[in-house]
Amino acid sequence: MKRWILTSAVLALAACSSPSDSEETAPKEAPAVDTSRRVLAEEAPGGIVVDFKDGTTKAEFDAWEAEWGVDLEFNSVEGQRTGVTIAQGVENVDAALARILQNPAVESAEPLRIYSVPPGEAAVTDLDSSLEEDSKDGYTPNDPDYPKQWNFRMIHMPSAWKESRGKGVVVAVLDTGIAYEDHDDFKQVPDLKGAKFKKGYDFVNDDEHANDDHGHGTHVAGTIAQVTNNGQGVAGVAFEATLMPVKVLNHFGSGTSADIAEAIRFAADNGANVINMSLGGGGYSKVMADAVEYARKKGVTVVAAAGNAGRPRVEFPAAYPGAVAVAAVGPGGSRAPYSSYGKELDIAAPGGDKRQGDAGGILQNTIDPREPSRSVYAAYQGTSMATPHVAAVAALLYAEGAKGPDEVEKALYAGAKRVGEQAWTEEYGHGLLDAQASLNALGGGISRWPSMWWALALLALVLLTMRGRERPGYLNVLVRPSFLVPLVLATVGVFFARSWFGGASGVAGDVVDAAFLPIPDWQRIIFGRGKVANPLFYSSLIPLLLSFLAIKFKGLRSAIGGLALGFAGFLAYAAWSKAPSLAWMPFHFLALPWLVVNTFICLIIARAMLRKETAA
């Protein structure tokens, strides 16, 4: 059944795709959109996907099929747990979906969509040129073709490798599979011999051997964790990480929204810390959006390619809330002409630009798509190649103690090299990936919680500016739970909540997510994840409003003082790191003075709350 769906979809995609093997051509303009319902090229003709509530049995939905006029089957063996089912040959998709959606056991139902490897990324080659070494003060692997990996030096891997190599972190690669084993006609590529693998799954053929018959997935996996310093071939970013091969794309490079959604849940439920999806183009799918949300709530960082259409629109799944959307740059650090961009973009990373020749591509060991048992070293280009750089650096951050997606993203964005003066742009997101700077942003010891240390430094400043009789005393302030607890909540949050209650869902999950974040970042839970922060939360407004309560209830003064100091530390660090862009600002440069002014207002509030009353 899946082969029938995918074959039809590939023919549809071929009709609207460029046959070029390069992404240097001018991007196509988006077609005019009419409001009538039509079968899109990215939809499998007559295919639907229905996501039932977990626990719905086949006997139950078999009883409803006659009324709906469809023949549903679990999408895979995993479907019996996830509730994801598909049907083919549906004559009237809209009418069937309208009936199905009325059933309370249905979480979502929609046309079955097709996602794929972006065209023009593969090009088998033997590179004979290299870029100059620049790793005087870093770890230099002995892989003979490492000098050709300009992309690793662009993101400062030699110095980053001295701190982290991803040990103990699991990265799931949802792609065409990985050449990770010798099985039947499939062979492991030589430069993955010795790499660590965790059991994955093949959702295309419904078996446990997620082998690559295309080449794209192995190339992506190589960027993440190609065996390094083995005297052979090339290096990988997080070469001590563990790869989980999950095949969701067939040998044509196409796969269904049902397979991808199930694979996301599979990876999240089976120990993945990071999910890499170098695929896209299938339009919005609620089934997949729900799966991304599920993974994020399980504490998994989801990284996806922005797309290769070269237009101002980030493709799905990268555009879903909860996914890190990645654009591509060439060797010069400028956005590659094929790379899509837009308001959903998060970060840019090396993806290659072969207008400069093969040396401008991303080199890794993979298979020859014409003969899957044959190993080659290939230079590819695309946002598919940029995405695993970000996923691998996320693995480095987890290995260094990052506690979840929020902390990983904060470090990625704080460490990104800005392109221009603005903190965030549609072309580069928060900037160009920098592995070393992101590790520094995550830090260790004091620098792990910079907002907290800013708050304590500002507390010392406040106390020093008070007259002796007004000053409450340094240690007296710090040992009061009524002061210290609000300060901690406003700077680092209840950082252990996710590890204790990370499996919670629904309202309980939202409460855990909020508690895990500093109070100013609760705006992410209230308003949803975005690329800009709400200026009402990134301000002195909350401490200011609460300070009025202290006029009548003087017992609250210590707590409000701690909260105000916490906000001051958070805002001061945000201003110093130039991390956020703020909503509603007519000009981006106004964000910095806004943060500085509100930091001082919080300090004034804290000083008033902490001051001891003295006799006249």
Contact (CB, 8 A) for 388 and 237: yes
Beta strands per DSSP E along 391-463 = none
Pairing of β 106-116 and β 196-197:
unpaired
Where in the sequence numbering do the catalytic residues fall? 175, 216, 384
Q: Decide: 323 and 292 in contact? Cβ < 8 Å.
A: yes
For the residues of 482-506, what is the DSSP string, one character each? HHHHHHHHHHT--TTHHHHHTT--H
Q: How far apart are the first and last CA of the chain?
A: 87
95 φ/ψ sector (left φ>0, alpha ψ -120 to 50, else beta): alpha
- How many residues are there in the chain? 616
Find out whether 604 and 560 touch, Cβ atoms under 8 Å.
no
Query: Which residue type sits at 148?
Result: K
Tell me whether residue 81 is exposed, middle or buried, using C-beta atoms within 10 angstroms of its C-beta: 0 to 12, 13 to 18, 19 or more.
middle
Determine contact, residues 18/308, Cβ cutoff 8 Å. no
Identify any residues that bridge with 276 across adjacent strands, giving them in sequence order: 173, 303
DSSP annotation of 584: T
Half-sphere exposure of 376 (CA within 13 A, CB side): 20
Contact status, residue 48 vs residue 70, Cβ threshold 8 Å: yes
- How many angstroms separate the CA atoms of 616 and 611, rounded? 14
